[in-house]
Structure 1
Amino acid sequence: MNNASFWRGVLPAITTPFTAEGEVDHDFLAKHAKALVDAGSTAIVPLGSLGEGATLTFDAKLAILDTLVAAVDGRVPVVPGIAALSTREAVELARAAKACGCGGLMALPPYVYSTDWREMGAHMRAVIGATDLPVIFYNNPVAYRTDFTPRQIAELAGEFPNLQAVKESSGDIRRFAALKEVLGERLVLLVGMDDLIVEGLAMGAEGWIAGVVNAFPEESVRLFEQARDGGYAAARELYEWSLPLLRMDTVPKFVQLIKLMQAQAGLGSERVRAPRLLLAGAEREEALQVIDQAIATRGR
């Protein structure tokens, strides 16, 4: 079960589309997932931060998973983010995800509450052990205020054979070397911040849970492949074109920015759920200048 091949590649953290009435747009969600797979994605990762998972009810999450499992039709696995306010709900969601046909899970620390390793480790053990599905361990101390050290992650990897990968989103490129030091090849390393993709691959990562891919799927897959096969020298031109977009994945309003990219690229709507609001004023105009410039120069 170790080192599943679908971790190696571009795994879109797919956005959740909404109708004008604020409901999940399941028709577009299915079309969008198929387009991402057609572009070369190796898995679909819904219900994460970019998917506005915190705004979705338990039943809405399951409906999204049903739609995605049917849409990809076994071509790639659906690997939902498993996050909740309580450990109990997270475990229930993990088991429900398996029941509806998901091929893996991405385990997150609990929303809101952040504390010591004893409690956070217990939560992660419960989620990882809830099923036998392969699991990505998600470390994002910036967003979730819990920072799992490489040794703590290695401790869990020694306990759970189904823990297969780690999504590293601390923003510290040195973490990749530290993870390799204690884990060797035990876990597949995944880049979790868009503007670290070339550097992360150079440091031993093999997959990318990506955000901008929602709006620029072909370019994102090509950037990954160029950096994987030839390093910075091979990817430099495309990376420099991509970086103004990729940096939008690492700021507080990244959901609004990536959905605005989708709208401008003809791959979705910019609708978000409150408390998020559509970008406005100078902030919106500045973002549009970057996005429209990228669209005007893509492929050159």
Structure 2
Amino acid sequence: MKIEWQGVMPAMTTCFDANSKVDLDFMARHCRWLVDNGCAGIIALGSLGEGATLEFDEKLAILKACVRAVGDRAPVVAGVSALSTAEAVRLAKAAAECGCHGLMVLPPYVYASGDWREMKAHVAAIIEATTLPCMLYNNPIAYGTDFLPEQIRELAEEHENLQAVKESSADVRRVTAIRALVGDRLRIFVGVDDVIVEGVNAGAVGWVAGLANALPRESVALFNYAKDGERDKAFELYRWFLPLLRMDTVPKFVQLIKLVQQEVGMGNARVRPPRLELVGEELAGALATIRAALEARPAALL
């Protein structure tokens, strides 16, 4: 299956049961539900997928479950991250063997002081590990490494199967800066939920979305309104959605997004340590925001 690299692709959460084991049955059902509601693909094992807390065998089991769940209806993209380059390469090759259709390439975990030579060597090794089309994931806020537009162009010039960028710097100017250097050579995805309309207006063609895990119809509608230039509808839906979308931009985004999933009846709030579920006033405040938004859901715009 060819990846078109456009539209809404959820950064899928990883569901855990009461014993902190991966709930593969639910994840398969979640995949199908996301595609049924208009999502263009599935991205597993990313930051929101708690990839850093998953064992290698768990990652492979998740990828296989997602591929089986959606079949030929939508592409499955594997997030590739690891402490070492060797392990990341191993995961990239295994993802291809699992039937994944593409890779989302993350910078190294923990090693935030790497210079461009080291960053380039790491991601290049992953991109070269298979022939699968790849998306570069740039998130300087989370990972402390920043792929500058000039460096992204360099990677694109050297690697034909690098086809897209997930830009999560939260600076919309990066979208126009990358486009100015690479034109249509790379497809640009917004990776921060609360700048999606601005990012699309700047030229992004896709959205790696967090809240889509709980609200895929709303996410797809918002993206399409922005893409199609329906400004009034986009504004109204965005205004309603922003209190939830902002939950994607804070340190406890995983806990918050899973809490929204629980509130809509599609998942639970369980996370794997060192993360812990929200409690006390923090939980009460989050639930108040979520429930107020869900009660005001603008069905007329969907």
* Bucket of the pairwise TM-score, normalised by the shorter protein: over 0.9
Q: Is the 2:13–2:49 contact (alpha carbons within 8 Å) kept by the matching residues of 1?
A: yes
Of residues 63, 72, 85, the one that matches 1:74 is 72
TM-score (norm 1): 0.97
Q: Which residue number corresponds to residue 172 of structure 2? A: 173
TM-score (norm 2): 0.97
Q: Is the 2:3–2:75 contact (alpha carbons within 8 Å) kept by the matching residues of 1?
A: no
Give the length in aligned residue pairs.
Answer: 298
> Matches of residues 259-278 of structure 1 in structure 2 within 5 Å?
259-278=258-277
Q: How far 1:281 moved relative to its partner?
A: 1.1
Q: Is the 1:30–1:68 contact (alpha carbons within 8 Å) kept by the matching residues of 2?
A: yes
Q: Which residue number corresponds to residue 216 of structure 2? A: 217
Q: Which residue number corresponds to residue 41 of structure 2? A: 43
- Residue identity opposite 1:22 in structure 2: S
Q: Is the 1:79–1:105 contact (alpha carbons within 8 Å) kept by the matching residues of 2?
A: yes
Please give the alpha-carbon distance, in whole angstroms, between the structure 2 residues aligned to 1:175 and 1:231.
Answer: 24
1:190 match: secondary structure: strand
Q: Is the 2:3–2:101 contact (alpha carbons within 8 Å) kept by the matching residues of 1?
A: no
Structure 1 residues 122 and 248: alpha-carbon distance in aligned structure 2, compared to 1, 3 A threshold: same
Q: How far 1:232 moved relative to its partner?
A: 3.7
> Matches of residues 69-148 of structure 1 in structure 2 within 5 Å?
69-114=67-112, 115-148=114-147
Q: How far 1:74 moved relative to its partner?
A: 1.5
Q: CA RMSD in A?
A: 1.1
Please give the alpha-carbon distance, in whole angstroms, between the structure 2 residues aligned to 1:254 and 1:230.
Answer: 29
Structure 2: 5+ residue stretches without partners:
none
Please give the alpha-carbon distance, in whole angstroms, between the structure 2 residues aligned to 1:217 and 1:286.
Answer: 23
Q: How far 1:282 moved relative to its partner?
A: 1.0
Q: How far 1:5 moved relative to its partner?
A: 5.3
- Residue identity opposite 1:111 in structure 2: Y
1:84 match: secondary structure: coil
Q: Is the 1:177–1:203 contact (alpha carbons within 8 Å) kept by the matching residues of 2?
A: yes
Structure 1: 5+ residue stretches without partners:
none
Q: Is the 2:248–2:257 contact (alpha carbons within 8 Å) kept by the matching residues of 1?
A: yes
Identity %: 60
Q: Which residue number corresponds to residue 189 of structure 2? A: 190
- Residue identity opposite 2:89 in structure 1: V
